[in-house]
Structure 1
Amino acid sequence: MPPELSDLTEALLSAAKAAGAEAADAIAVEGRAVSIDVRGGALEQAERSEGVEIGLRVLIGGRQACVAASDLSARTMADMAERAVAMAREAPEDPHAGLADPAQLASGWDIAAYELADPSPEPEAAALQADACAAEAAALAVSGVAQVQSASASWSCRNLFMAATNGFAGGYARTSRSVSAVAISGEGATMERDWAAESRVFQADLPSAIEVGTRAGERAVARAHPRPPKTGAFPVLLDERVAGSVIGHLLSAINGTSIARGASWLRDALGEEVLPAGMNLIEDPFRPRISGSRPFDAEGLPTRRRAIVENGVLTGWTLDLATARKLGMESTASASRGTTAPPSPTTGNVTLTQGTQSRDALLTEMGTGLIVTSFIGATINPTTGDYSRGANGFWVENGEIAWPVNECTIAGNLREMLRRITPANDARAHLSHVVPSLRIEGLTLAGA
């Protein structure tokens, strides 16, 4: 039986102190995952992984180094600590690196309230295969579907525990259950593909595999016989499936690492309007049964709900301790890390204000323009916000879908685009990023 994760982190910290570290933090992660792929109603591939990985960060003055291993022996931990200390002594000095003050640390959280781990038993491989087969069969049952490229079902469970020499110690588990399918319509050069996927923390919340497969098939058929769009400046409606990517660019631009380097197109936007008036972008780490929820960040700070954008105005950056110290600010408890690298800032659950109209109502108002359902690659300038992406979707005439579009290009500037968004009311509440379909006025379109 493997040792407790808390025991592993305690042993790593002891080894670090013995090797000469002034301060240290440690993380231990135990994971199990099963994935099943089917094709033609038969098993195509089955994968199972299990393992424990440990990571150690040591600090000496303003110097730090990280090491990781999957061997849990005492000898390996001692070697890790000695190697990390030797590396730290040769590392460049960073006056902003360091652990949290003990007074800043999280305590007394109720992990059960987050519902991050499904108590249900691990599903049998046969149950996963049945889901994948059901998704494949449902997609093939859609008239016009020529084949199913892939159908999959998976389950995973991840336990982590963190500890540091400043007195922090804590951990939690996460589970995930998912099903997906990729369907193809047409033959040869006329083939078009689309997909559907669902994932939930609790298995009981997962939609049926039949529903997922049917949706994949219907989407693939709808894309048959695409035509290029008109070229010019038109409104574009980003389908809910892809609208989150634009908000993701905003989140990247306010990341403390980019701000501290001065390499962000929003570097001078604090306190300015970046979204239309009345719109909020809220980060909430307390939402139960959501993959991005957590009681503390990777530096042991208590997470909290915050308005990243309030009434259209940018209120702050996303910061860990190091970037906060560099900018003369307070951490937003946004640190994230794996076993091989030091903490860095990242955003968890976010929710964008929804509109009052349906997607169809926004299309009616749009009149003529493009619906984007998927993107192909990207050229985005992180310092200016200039934006150009390949896209697939549907052309809209007189407020109704006219024909599918394949391989066009949309272009604009992110700062201007975000100020011109109109949200629909179709965001999916179970996602970590809850973002509805977004209509954006005046983008440049070009056919392939």
Structure 2
Amino acid sequence: MPDAQNDPDRLPRLAEALVAAARKAGADQADALAIDGRSVSLDVRGGALEQAERAEGIEIGLRVLLGGRQAAVSSSDHGAEAIAQMAERAVAMAREAPVDDTLGLADPGQLSDRRDAQGLDIAEPGPEPDPAALEAMALEAEAAALSVAGITQVEAAQAAYSRRRMWLAASNGFSGGYARTGHSLSVIAITGEGLGMERDYAGESRVFAADLPDPRQIGLLAAERTLERAGARRPPTGAFPILFDRRVSASLIGHLLAAVNGSAVARGASWLRRELGQPVLPAGLSLTEDPLRPRYPSSRLFDAEGLPTRRRAIVADGVLQGWTLDLATARKLGMDSTGSAARGLAAAPSPSHGNTILTPGTASRDDLIARMGRGLVVTSMLGASINGTTGDYSRGAAGFWVENGRIAWPVNECTIAGNLRDMLMTIIPADDALPWRGTEVPSLLVDGMTVAGA
């Protein structure tokens, strides 16, 4: 039987067959996903191939709605009998689910006119790359890292490729889909031995292979970052300014995005639930979502419920403009969907963000470090204790200590803490945001957080 790549109509047929089977089994409404995915990744170590993995297959998912109830199931079996059994099982599950009157598909008039990804340039044409070419990239990146004096070993150098084609069909008449590709390259380098060992990494991913940096650049950057970590120790304890390096600053904005997610707001579990129309960032800063950026990782013309996507301001000039909503959360809150639904094969839609951009500043990272005087530059974090309802924030961190406006020594084994509401209202952005990220955020200076170190 031809696969979905050689038979471009296979995914639409599967998705539409699922919807038809659901209606036959008694569902009031249904939507279905069919996904053809294939990926290959290669790890090299010590100048030789260490591991190669390849995965491919077609998976299908079905959601049924019946009298205000819903259920979702998935399978990797695409046969007609399996599809009929999936539909019957999903309808049986839905009959036992709790009633939620906000559930339901979009009205036909709400649906996107665009049913593909034309103009977004999110899938590289042509065949997948030769595994030998991926291996050569990883070997070049590893060799570059090892060429730097002080690097004792490379823990891993990995090159990977993926291609994913999706089709969404629904009983309201929607039927559309698109393909997406991804290329990535990463290196983890190590310096020192035993208790004095330190590691760091560099990595990049792109839709198109031609947009990836040179492998040698990635290897050299991993080595540079690793050597900067040598001799790390704990910082002092106290209240200090903290600069979130651009490597981790997107996580800080990610907490704001989680707080404006309609699911959290509808549950009353967001620390921003009463702040609509109020300042949540300093004046002059905006946070924008743009799912229509060509060649970007989260771009799409329609969401997981078939609604058109659009560029929108989440925060404008510091003021919170609105929540991020799918159809169900919009109905709960008496609003309109923002075309932000995402879903998995066996999961109902939920609100999600992609391609978010924070207004950059005018000062360089070094300018902000000089402005700090004494404080902490955070370049990596681990663990988290985040209270989504109150905004209380605590995370393990590592980076560099700053004295007299200059980086003095590397830091590890410390904890940083504060409250997200207060933290975000004091941020000062640098001008160093990198492109191609799903969340494009520069380094951010935050005033007056607590550092727990030595």
Query: How far off is 1:321 after superposition?
Result: 0.3
Partner of 1:387: 393
7, 17, 29: which one pairs with 2:13? 7
Q: Is 1:349 the counterpart of 2:350 in the alignment?
A: no
Partner of 1:416: 422
TM-score by length of 2: 0.98
Q: Is 1:217 the counterpart of 2:223 in the alignment?
A: yes
Partner of 1:252: 258
One-letter amino acid matched to 2:151: V
Distance 2:181 2:398 in 1: 33
Distance 1:424 1:110 in 2: 37
86, 96, 105: which one pairs with 1:90? 96
Query: How far off is 1:110 after superposition?
Result: 6.4
Contact 2:396 2:415 in 1 (8 A): yes
144, 147, 150: which one pairs with 1:144? 150
Between 115-124 and 438-447, report the one with greater CA deviation. 115-124
Query: Within 5 Å, which residues of 2 pair with 1:235-384?
Result: 235-384=241-390
Contact 2:233 2:413 in 1 (8 A): no
Distance 1:279 1:384 in 2: 23
Distance 2:115 2:434 in 1: 27
Q: Is 1:186 the counterpart of 2:212 in the alignment?
A: no
Which stretches of structure 1, 4 residues or longer, exceed 2 Å deviation after superposition?
Answer: 108-112
CA deviation vs aligned residue, 1:366-387 (integer Å, no higher than 9, x gap): 1111100000111111111111
Query: How far off is 1:2 after superposition?
Result: 2.8
The percentage of aligned residue pairs carrying the same residue is: 64
Q: Is 1:399 the counterpart of 2:405 in the alignment?
A: yes
Across the two proteins, how many residue pairs are aligned to each other? 448
CA deviation vs aligned residue, 1:136-155 (integer Å, no higher than 9, x gap): 11111111111111110000
Distance 1:110 1:169 in 2: 9
One-letter amino acid matched to 2:69: R
CA deviation vs aligned residue, 1:195-252 (integer Å, no higher than 9, x gap): 0001000011111111111100110000000122121111100000000000000000
Q: Is 1:129 the counterpart of 2:122 in the alignment?
A: no
Distance 1:202 1:246 in 2: 28
Contact 2:358 2:440 in 1 (8 A): yes
**2:296 alignment partner, SS class:** coil
Query: Within 5 Å, which residues of 2 pair with 1:159-174?
Result: 159-174=165-180
Distance 1:10 1:414 in 2: 45
Query: How far off is 1:109 after superposition?
Result: 5.8
Query: How far off is 1:402 after superposition?
Result: 0.4
One-letter amino acid matched to 2:177: G
- Cα 1:343–1:371 change in 2 (3 A) is same
Query: Within 5 Å, which residues of 2 pair with 1:103-118?
Result: 103-108=109-114, 111-118=117-124
Query: Within 5 Å, which residues of 2 pair with 1:15-164?
Result: 15-108=21-114, 111-164=117-170
**1:189 alignment partner, SS class:** helix
Distance 1:122 1:110 in 2: 21
- Which runs of 5 or more structure 1 residues have no equivalent in the other structure? none
Contact 2:114 2:308 in 1 (8 A): no
CA deviation vs aligned residue, 1:9-48 (integer Å, no higher than 9, x gap): 1111111111111110010000010000011111111000
CA deviation vs aligned residue, 1:303-333 (integer Å, no higher than 9, x gap): 0111000000001111100000011111111
CA deviation vs aligned residue, 1:110-164 (integer Å, no higher than 9, x gap): 6231001011431111111111111111111111111111110000000000010
Distance 2:217 2:37 in 1: 29
**1:113 alignment partner, SS class:** coil
One-letter amino acid matched to 1:174: R
Distance 2:354 2:151 in 1: 37
Distance 1:91 1:432 in 2: 35
Contact 2:62 2:74 in 1 (8 A): yes
Contact 2:31 2:168 in 1 (8 A): yes
407, 426, 440: which one pairs with 2:446? 440
